[in-house]
Amino acid sequence: MGRTWDDNRIYGHLVVGCFWAAMSLWWLAKILQRWRKMGPEGFRISPFYCAGKSAIPVESIFKICIGVFYGYSEYYTGYDSNGSFVNTKNAHHMAVCAVLTMSGLVDLGIRWNVVVPEQLSYIFLMAVGLTDGWLMSVHNDVSFGEGRLGTDMHQAAGMDPMIGILFLTCEMLHPRSLAIALLRPIFGLHQGALFATMSFVLYQPCCPWDDRHVPIFHALNLGCYMLSAGLALTVAMLVHRGSRKSAYKNGKLPILC
């Protein structure tokens, strides 16, 4: 670390962060919308969510588009001036994009009753997390000579998708738990904030980051966890409070003394 980076790496990390943030806010909105509509008794987690009453599989289509277009961009930029594909990191990114595209295709198959059972969607989501974690391990910057800070950033970014495999398993086992459902947007928001932090470190707007700043990065990493969890839980409490008030007004809940 502590050197000037090319713009492609800076913006690339920022784009990935925006992707994670958008997906996490989508999950949070759909989970709480379903909770408010169905209530605790009828609530059920889904491996993917559709848009509105039309039940358009927006999430599945989005994953396919991101996988195809981002994968193609990685393929295109992996060539050198002689027309040879030489960038190993681009190939790693293409592998993640391929698994993400497959996950979207499986979701579409489940939505159109072509693929059964529904748990296959969870399996491919876990494959995305596993591949993403593998990506961060092979991009561990010790092998690229970029120092301790780069290593810690990749390790931190690889933790979320690996932990994601655990809470996706919990979703399969406890599909009616709102607390477990909120884990996905919480960790996704943290991943988005973490990639934005990595872009800031690569951009170096105020000072050249190096191994001396490792404690600061870990503090930012922990702060992102706290902010992500705080945001998701605050929104969930507000939605729950609003639904309780509506139920009281409609006479569906007893007034407690």
| pLDDT score of 99 | 95
Flag whether pLDDT at 2 surpasses 50.
no
Give tens-digit pLDDT for 171-202.
999 999 999 999 999 999 999 988 888 888 77
Q: Is residue 19 part of a domain?
A: yes
Q: Is residue 179 part of a domain?
A: yes
Q: Is residue 95 part of a domain?
A: yes
Answer with the residue of higher pLDDT: 237 or 66. Answer: 66
In whole angstroms, what is the distance from residue 14 CA to residue 173 CA?
A: 34
Q: Is residue 211 part of a domain?
A: yes
Give tens-digit pLDDT for 70-124.
899 888 888 888 888 888 888 888 999 999 999 999 999 998 888 778 889 999 9
Task: Encode burial over 31-43: b for 16+ CB neighbours within 10 A, e otherwise.
Answer: bbebbeeeeeeeb
Q: How many domains does the chain have?
A: 1
Give tens-digit pLDDT for 194-234.
888 888 877 776 667 777 888 888 888 888 888 888 888 88
| pLDDT score of 257 | 32
Flag whether pLDDT at 143 surpasses 70.
no
| pLDDT score of 154 | 82
HSE at residue 235, side-chain half, CA atoms within 13 A, is 18
Backbone dihedral angles phi then psi of residue 115, each to the nearest 5 degrees: -110, 130
Q: Is residue 254 part of a domain?
A: no
Domain that holds residue 144: 7-248
DSSP 56: B
Q: Is residue 168 part of a domain?
A: yes
CB atoms inside a 10 Å sphere around CB 95 = 16
Give tens-digit pLDDT for 40-53.
888 899 888 887 66
Residues paired with 51 in a beta bridge: 56
In whole angstroms, what is the distance from residue 75 CA to residue 194 CA?
A: 25
Q: Is residue 42 part of a domain?
A: yes
| Mean of pLDDT values over 14-29 | 90
Flag whether pLDDT at 254 surpasses 70.
no
The residue behind tokens 């800076």 is: 10
> Is-contact 70 94, C-beta < 8 A?
no
Q: Is residue 256 part of a domain?
A: no
